[in-house]
């Protein structure tokens, strides 16, 4: 579908699920009007897929198999599913090149909730792994 730039103020003012819904609705409104995308919006009609690789999520072009964007999972500020369309998934993260927050929106072939559950699972695994590493560093081994 595309992305919408999100300001810190918008992130702070909107409740977590509300911010994703707001972005999805804004992008759909622009698409329905058929008007050119204003600054801070980008409409895309290319087919992509999301790939989780290590600690990153990648947006990959379906035809060329080239990564269009890579994002550290821990850098994702929030993610969610549209209330109106269960196959609409979005995540908000700071763009590594512009340092602006963008809400990336995808029309999926599977349930957006399933994608959100997988992303949550990976995120939880990463947190647990980080804690294990911290615990092993903080607890020095003593020999008797």
Matching residue, tokens 């072009």:
61
Q: How far apart are CA 2 and CA 69, in angstroms?
A: 12
Q: Compute CA distances 136 → 92, 115, 129, whole Å.
A: 32, 32, 11
Report which of residues 140 and 56 the model is more confident about: 56
What residues form DSSP beta bridges with 61? 48
Confidence of residue 65 (pLDDT cuts 50, 70, 90): very high
What residues form DSSP beta bridges with 138? none
- What are φ and ψ of residue 29, in 5° steps? -60, -45
Q: What is the percent of the chain with per-residue pLDDT over 70, rounded to a whole number?
A: 88
Q: Which pairing describes strands 67-72 and 101-107: parallel, antiparallel, or unpaired?
A: unpaired
| Ramachandran area for residue 99 (φ above 0: left; ψ -120 to 50: alpha; else beta) | left
Confidence of residue 14 (pLDDT cuts 50, 70, 90): low
According to the per-residue pLDDT averaged within each range, which of 22-31, 43-52, 60-69, 135-144 is highest? 60-69
Q: How far apart are CA 113 and CA 118, in angstroms?
A: 9
Terminal alpha carbon distance of the chain? 61
pLDDT tens per residue across span 69-118: 888 888 888 888 888 888 888 888 888 788 888 888 888 888 888 888 88
């Amino acid at each position: 579908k595309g992305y919408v730039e999100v300001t810190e103020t918008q992130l702070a003012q909107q409740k977590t699920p509300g911010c994703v819904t707001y972005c999805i609705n804004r992008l759909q409104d622009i698409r329905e009007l058929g008007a050119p995308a204003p600054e801070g919006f980008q409409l895309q009609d290319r087919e992509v897929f999301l790939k989780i690789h290590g600690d990153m999520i990648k947006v990959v072009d379906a035809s060329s198999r080239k990564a269009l964007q890579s994002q550290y999972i821990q850098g994702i500020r929030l993610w969610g599913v549209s209330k109106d369309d269960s196959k609409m998934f979005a995540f908000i993260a700071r763009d590594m090149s512009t340092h602006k927050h963008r809400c990336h929106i995808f029309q999926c072939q599977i349930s957006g909730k399933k994608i959100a559950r997988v992303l949550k699972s990976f995120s939880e695994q990463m947190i647990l792994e980080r804690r294990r590493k911290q615990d092993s560093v903080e607890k020095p081994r003593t020999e008797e």
